Structure 1
Amino acid sequence: MTKKIIRTVEELKIPAVASHQVYYCQSKERLLKEIIVANEGMNGSRHYLYNQATLDDKEDRFSHLPPQHLLALEEMINHWLFLNDKQLIENLIFKYPQVIVNKVGKVNIKQPPLNYSATGSSRKEENDLILAYTQRAQEIFGNH
């Protein structure tokens, strides 16, 4: 199905972008996602991946959950190898995102400052968190 969608947008000259759902930065944080999936939610509802994770014939109940960490460049490329088209993969990962960025231009988000006074958080803690995520992104993708 994914191949058919990508081929269709290629024919229509619409830039498609390769992506995946990211719920945590590093694969070692997967345990947190497994805990969320395993726990019962509000009103007895379960996470949408719960049934997939708990099928009886699986030795490791969570081994079949999709990876949802921030993929490194090589992982992202490997994730799309099923397309069997090197040029298309390069377009989806490198070329088309830049095409979209160029069409959109500069985005300026004006948001009121967050108030952490109830939690005792400080501007320093917020800056430390931003710095940690920025450094991790640079480790994975380099400075671009």
Structure 2
Amino acid sequence: MIQYTACKEFLLPLFITIDKVWDYINQPASNPLLYYNDGSYIFDIPSFNKEVIGEAILNVCCHRSMLIQSDVVIKQYLDSITITNAGGFPSGVDMNNILTVNSVPRSKLMSEVLQKTGLVERSGQGVEKMFYNCIMEGKALPDYSGTDSY
């Protein structure tokens, strides 16, 4: 496994942290552009998509187990980002149904706050958005294989 070259701890309110994390990830050296040719057009696509990363961060906040004291950890590698939180899939969710089941957030209050502030449209759409963006940009799909139950 590739060792990380930088470590940053964010101790700010969530609404500020989301943007700060993206600013940290979205540096030219750590989020290089990928080039896609379509006839005479060349499209520049960042390696990491802001909406995908934002949705992933919001998901770990809504679905983390508050019974386990642990930080949300984001590890950025050259070609991937891993985001982990306390607890695994919410009850009723697994690798086979992650796109079809309507999950119940572990923190209903957190989910409602994020919805009312406009950070999420409604519960149950985050994973679909991440998959959609990855498909549209021709990137690898999110990998949940390291996730366990509860």
* TM-score normalised to structure 1 length: 0.28
Per chain length, whose mean CA-contact separation is higher, i.e. which structure has more relative contact order (CA < 8 Å, sep 6+)? 1
- For the pair shown, which has the larger CA radius of gyration, 1 or 2? 1
Larger proportion of strand: 2
Q: TM-score, normalised by structure 2?
A: 0.28
- If each structure's helix is expressed as a fraction of its own residues, which one has the higher value? 1
